[in-house]
Structure 1
């Protein structure tokens, strides 16, 4: 594994700016997640790191060595895509071994057997090694796809929304597994997603992209608790942050146009009266949908609340975030 440094990377396709002056260091052994909506520049970043695309300006360094002009094979990176991309006529064993048998790597067969066996154990698919790829479930196929990247022991693993095509339960299971695998193997990962739960549960670092610009980079808890803008604040947290007029509650600082309230940062039983519009019982907690002066607000309460639609609940801000008219953080 190795650290990867992006320095002032920019990439345009015609008049469309896909990436603009992005600088970021991915530490050795880190699990870095890039967050942002479609068109934010996430996949373009992966393609520039992998060597599938050349930047218009800027450079990529892997393990302290200049990599900007190198091919993907020379960079020693692997990429896992949303689709499985397995060879259906091959067994799991041969799918895992395939990249090691390339003319470039020329890996000895005894080393191939060692690496395939080790990765199969980590991925918990050792009992499936002699199965054809077509005999696997969706979750097992994605494990093999990830395993085919892991056997290479590359400088960095690049993953482009590898869990997004799976159902909700499989996604939740593989999130846990992928983080376990990364920790066990000490792998360096750059992972692209629009799923904020994946970012919060797996990442050591989160990079938030907005129209090709990296607007914040840091540990997920830091980005969640101290976002630099309203845009960043909306990228992490479920339910989403409540964005309300700053004057709705007293005490807004000068220059504030919007108050941002996380659902868990609303005090109950004090402040201004709000109407309960809807109650969502989720088992371990309950979401309350409130209306205050015409504004919709979501907050959290205990699982066994007696509140119901039409009731009144007094609320007040706790640890609020403030933003100016452009969405930049105030204070």
Structure 2
């Protein structure tokens, strides 16, 4: 494994600026996730590291070596794509061994067999090695795609939303598996996702990306508790943070125009709070409920005790508890 450094890299496609002045380092053995919506430039950033795209400016270093002008095959990276991209006519074993048999590597056959079997055990697909790729379930195919990268033992693994096509239950299982494998191998991973749960549960650091720019990078806890602006605050948290006009509440510091209220920032009671709101809907989710409120014509969503006997039309009282504050431009304001 090796450290990867992206230094002031920019990339445009005609008039579209996909990546703008991106600087980022991924430490040896670190799991870094780039989090952002579709079109934010996340995949382009991966393709630049892989050598599938050439930057307009800036440089990329892997293991201290400048690889900006190197071909993809010379960069020692492995790419896991969003789609499985398996060879359907080959067995699981042959799919995983394919990269090791390339003329540029010439790995001995005994070593290939041992490596594939070792990685198959890690991924719990050792009993499927003789199956054709078309005989596998979606989750098994994704494991094979990940395994094909793992057998390479490259400097860095680049993963482009590899779990997005799986169902919710399987995504949860694969998140745990992928994090376990990364920890066991000490692998260096740069991972792209639009799913905040994937980023928060797997990554050691999260980089929030918007319109090709890296807005903020930090541990999941740092990004959640101390977002640099309202956009970053809105990327993490379930239910989504409530962004409300400061004028709705009394005692807000000067300069704060927007209040960012997560569920832990809102105290709910029948009376005695700062403002009153009307319940519009209750979503019962078992151990908790999502409470939808109307606060002065503004929608608010928070969590409520499922034992609370609240229903549409009920009045509740809200009190703020150390919320996040933002100025008119969305920048963070000190409480």
Give the TM-score normalised by structure 2: 0.97
The aligned residue for residue 325 of structure 1 is 328
Give the superposed CA RMSD.
Answer: 1.0
Which of 301, 306, 309 is the equivalent residue of 1:303? 306
Which of 305, 312, 315 is the equivalent residue of 1:312? 315
- Summarize the alignment of residues 176-325 of structure 1 with structure 2, pairs less than 5 Å apart: 176-269=176-269, 270-325=273-328
- C-alpha separation between the residues in 2 aligned to 1:298 and 1:166? 28
- Summarize the alignment of residues 5-20 of structure 1 with structure 2, pairs less than 5 Å apart: 5-20=5-20
Is the deviation greater in 147-156 or in 196-205? 196-205
The aligned residue for residue 127 of structure 1 is 127
Unaligned runs of 5+ in 1: none
Deviation of 1:271 after TM superposition, in Å, equals 2.4
- C-alpha separation between the residues in 2 aligned to 1:22 and 1:151? 30
Unaligned runs of 5+ in 2: none
The aligned residue for residue 73 of structure 1 is 73
Deviations 1:153-202 (A, max 9, x none): 00000011111111122112111111111111111111111111111111
Deviation of 1:251 after TM superposition, in Å, equals 2.2
Structure 2 residue 31 is matched with structure 1 residue 28: no
- C-alpha separation between the residues in 2 aligned to 1:288 and 1:282? 11
Structure 2 residue 149 is matched with structure 1 residue 146: no
Deviation of 1:313 after TM superposition, in Å, equals 1.4
- C-alpha separation between the residues in 1 aligned to 2:184 and 2:209? 29
Deviation of 1:319 after TM superposition, in Å, equals 2.0
Deviation of 1:303 after TM superposition, in Å, equals 2.5
Deviations 1:91-112 (A, max 9, x none): 1111111100000111111111
The aligned residue for residue 164 of structure 2 is 164
- C-alpha separation between the residues in 2 aligned to 1:286 and 1:192? 30
- C-alpha separation between the residues in 1 aligned to 2:6 and 2:26? 8
- C-alpha separation between the residues in 1 aligned to 2:296 and 2:235? 26
Deviation of 1:120 after TM superposition, in Å, equals 0.3
Aligned length: 331
- C-alpha separation between the residues in 2 aligned to 1:200 and 1:250? 34
Deviations 1:10-69 (A, max 9, x none): 111112111111111111111111111122110110011001111111111111111111
Deviations 1:304-326 (A, max 9, x none): 22111121211111121111111
Deviation of 1:122 after TM superposition, in Å, equals 0.5
- C-alpha separation between the residues in 2 aligned to 1:319 and 1:72? 49
- C-alpha separation between the residues in 2 aligned to 1:245 and 1:128? 56
SS of the residue aligned with 2:274? Answer: strand
Structure 2 residue 52 is matched with structure 1 residue 52: yes
Verify the 8 A CA contact 1:275 1:310 in the aligned structure 2.
yes
- C-alpha separation between the residues in 2 aligned to 1:309 and 1:264? 22
Deviation of 1:117 after TM superposition, in Å, equals 1.0
- C-alpha separation between the residues in 2 aligned to 1:152 and 1:304? 52
- C-alpha separation between the residues in 2 aligned to 1:102 and 1:33? 30
SS of the residue aligned with 2:17? Answer: strand
Structure 2 residue 100 is matched with structure 1 residue 100: yes
Verify the 8 A CA contact 1:249 1:316 in the aligned structure 2.
no
